[in-house]
């Protein structure tokens, strides 16, 4: 599995996020690019689907891996906040394994990692998740997927959006088949922006199009 030096990663993230901020501002109003749902959308029902993916109801442990806070906002194409949108996220654990019966990755499962959450965007269309940085994982011998988080966002009156959020300054982004199939502008909209190093916090803005 891919690993990285946290301090180097965060410093590079802050620099790249600062440079990307201006280009993202110029793309305001552009719908967040869609992406395939992938084969690992959760199938098994679970009671715990709240904003904190680092713990599971009924268990005393905490998820393995680097904790990250995702501060997000759902907006329309005029940059107006979209309140009460359903925000559905799922991801691999720190070892790169999904809690899914079809994931054949031999990496271990983490019983203390929630892995899937559904919340509503609140005032100003904002939402926040506490999770861990997902591990990279091999698709085949020539392709390793970079850390990413899947999002599915819906609200009546808007087109449902399924997309993927990528982590800034990750070297695997440059070789990912799905991300590199996007234009440079589209990639900027799919890569989160670093807000702070401590606690490690990323910002991700999701723009929905009208139905």
Catalytic residues: 98, 137, 145, 148, 150
CA angle 139, 140, 141 (to 5 degrees): 140
**Are 99 and 116 in contact, with CB atoms under 8 Å apart?**
yes
Evaluate whether 143 touches 174 at the Cβ level (below 8 Å).
no
Task: Tell me the C-alpha distance between 100 and 103, whole Å.
Answer: 6
Residue 200 near residue 67, CB atoms below 8 Å: yes
The DSSP result for 123-182, as a single string, is GGGEEEEEEEPPPPEEEETTEEEPSEEEEEEE-TTB--EEEEEE-TT-GGGGG-HHHHTS
Contact 119, 151 (CB under 8 A): no
| Residue 24: HSE in the Cβ half-sphere, 13 Å Cα cutoff | 20
């Amino acid at each position: 599995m891919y690993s990285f030096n946290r301090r180097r990663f965060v410093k590079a993230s802050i620099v790249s996020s600062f440079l990307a901020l201006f280009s993202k501002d110029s793309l305001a109003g552009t719908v967040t690019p869609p992406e395939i749902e992938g084969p690992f959308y959760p199938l098994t029902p679970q009671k715990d689907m709240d904003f904190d993916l680092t713990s599971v109801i009924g268990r005393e442990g905490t998820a393995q891996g680097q904790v990250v806070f995702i501060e997000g906002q759902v907006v329309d194409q005029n940059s107006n906040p979209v309140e009460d949108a359903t925000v559905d996220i799922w991801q691999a654990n720190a070892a790169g394994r999904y809690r899914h019966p079809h994931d054949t990755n031999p990496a271990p499962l983490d019983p203390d990692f929630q892995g899937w959450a559904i919340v509503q965007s609140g005032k100003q269309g904002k939402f926040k998740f506490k999770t861990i940085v997902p591990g990279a994982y091999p698709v085949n011998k020539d392709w390793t997927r970079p850390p990413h988080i899947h999002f599915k966002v819906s609200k009546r009156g808007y087109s449902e959006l399924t997309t993927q959020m990528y982590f800034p300054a990750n070297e695997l982004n440059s070789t990912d088949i799905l991300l590199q199939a996007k234009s440079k502008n589209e990639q900027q909209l799919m890569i989160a922006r670093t807000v702070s190093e401590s606690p490690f916090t990323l910002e991700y803005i999701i723009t929905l199009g009208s139905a």
